[in-house]
Chains A and B, each alone.
Chain A
């Protein structure tokens, strides 16, 4: 089933203060030259070894958005002016914005907390020992190849040890009862939504 999601809806589905920055980053990330307000991602939904491909189209109406969030147009301009050296942080924020969209479309949940240093990033249930949330990552390029490395962890080299991937990190955390991974790439426009547990 294809999903069409207007970013204006995020102000209803999610906490407006929490999504302000990710939405601004997302608009600028998808549309750096202010040319197109609709972008379609191939969304791969996977659970264990099974998966199916779907499509999610993200669009926006900047006038409607500005009516809800007066500072948004200014925030988008700020991102568009940012140098390419800062693109990594912008990609990070844009991926959070897209994950908010995915959580709204696929789980119909409201994110209540954001953590940076202990997965999962976006929590929709903060009951101690039964945390439920979504781990997020964004990549500018390399699509599924980059996703595989994010999920499984980069392999070791003679100089650097192998790292634990996001999937294994979430599986090992006993206090996380339900976890998803939401990964997004701009070039090509692909995404993975994986239910890691239960």
Chain B
């Protein structure tokens, strides 16, 4: 990468920092969300600029890590700050010059880290015996997100908690926050695409899904698969079903290719076979589902409703569906 690209990244980081300070100076809230995001973006740009150097001089690496660590603290993300703190070259911290470099950061980091460890320990004590986040109290999760809005993982916990209870809007809100802090996390993108069809009006959901898909369709099997599933769901009872199925077909083919040889590849293959039926204009029957190996024939023969079976197929083919089975709630 060129020097000028690196300079531009660091210039953008500088502007973001100024903007974040302004937001803190004008918004009367403990941790204004826009300031959190600006500081977080600035920290990630500092690290992206460092990553462009093959063998950075020791002091260049130390300065970048110190700056990123401090910015993550500004962004209320002591977790990422700790990662950067531990990556500051050891030889730097032992020298007088290094001590001077760390003079501003060290006391703040130590204090914030201690508070964070205490808060996290308290949170874990409140979890049920299984240790599952889904079982935590919503008030406690909200407190965590308010105290540390820069930690994507806490928004992920809030998402899981709301998702497990079918509170889709709340789940989407939390997931959007996680995505904003970790824009390259394809799992967040894929799940957000899937949620869009449950939360947004069809037109808006389509636009949002397509926008995300455009960005990741060449690289992510998960995003392709979730896009295909979300569109399949949105196409149901839509006058545009045939047109949308063409898009679903394109996405599922990409998913199958990108995930070849994995369990997601198998799920994509099943969805592909189903979409092929729709593409040819055939209405799938109970026997088709049986051939996909999804349900016992006897069950199919008694009560076959295409929408329900299709919804079950969507759930079955969704990545991150931990048990890989059709959930009982789907009516089977």
A binds B: yes
Total cross-chain contacts (CB, 8 A):
104
In terms of DSSP, what is the predominant structure of the interface of chain B?
helix
A166 to chain B, nearest CB (A): 9
Question: Which residues in window 174-189 of A have CB below 8 A to B?
Answer: 174-175
Q: Is the CB of B97 within 8 A of A116?
A: no
Task: Sort chain A's interface into a size bin.
Answer: 35 or more
Complex Cα gap A118–B97 (Å):
11
Complex Cα gap A75–B60 (Å):
34
Q: Is the CB of A115 within 8 A of B11?
A: no
* A15 interfacial by beta-carbon distance below 8 Å: yes
* B142 interfacial by beta-carbon distance below 8 Å: no
List the one stretch of B68-76, B150-158, B232-240, B303-311 in contact with chain A.
B68-76
Binary CB contact string for chain A from 101 to 116 against chain B (1 if under 8 A, 0 otherwise): 0000000000011111
Complex Cα gap A85–B24 (Å):
11
* A150 interfacial by beta-carbon distance below 8 Å: no
Q: Is the CB of A112 within 8 A of B7?
A: yes
Q: Which 9 A-B pairs have the closest CB atoms?
A: A117-B70, A89-B25, A172-B100, A114-B14, A21-B22, A174-B97, A21-B18, A175-B59, A90-B25
Q: Is the CB of B11 within 8 A of A113?
A: yes
Complex Cα gap A55–B26 (Å):
30
* B162 interfacial by beta-carbon distance below 8 Å: no
List the one stretch of A37-45, A56-64, A76-84 in contact with chain B.
A76-84
Residues in A lying within 8 Å of B, measured CB to CB: 15, 17-18, 20-22, 24-25, 75, 78-79, 81-83, 85-86, 89-90, 92-93, 96, 112-119, 126, 128-129, 163-164, 168-175
* B19 interfacial by beta-carbon distance below 8 Å: yes
Q: Is the CB of B67 within 8 A of A25?
A: no
Q: What residues of chain B lie closer than 8 Å to A175, measured between beta carbons?
A: 59, 63, 97
Smallest CB-CB separation from A89: which chain B residue?
Answer: B25
Complex Cα gap A3–B290 (Å):
86
Task: Sort chain B's interface into a size bin.
Answer: 20 to 34
List the one stretch of B101-109, B131-139, B167-175, B260-268 in contact with chain A.
B101-109
Of B22, B27, B57, which one neighbours A129 at CB under 8 angstroms? B57
Of A25, A81, A173, which one neighbours B100 at CB under 8 angstroms? A173
Q: Is the CB of B57 within 8 A of A172?
A: no
Q: What residues of chain A lie closer than 8 Å to B67, measured between beta carbons?
A: 115-118
B5 to chain A, nearest CB (A): 14
Complex Cα gap A58–B34 (Å):
31
**23 A–B contacts from the bound complex (CB under 8 Å):** A17-B15, A18-B15, A21-B22, A25-B25, A79-B22, A82-B26, A86-B24, A89-B21, A92-B21, A93-B21, A116-B70, A116-B74, A117-B70, A117-B105, A118-B66, A118-B70, A119-B100, A119-B104, A128-B60, A169-B103, A170-B100, A172-B99, A174-B59
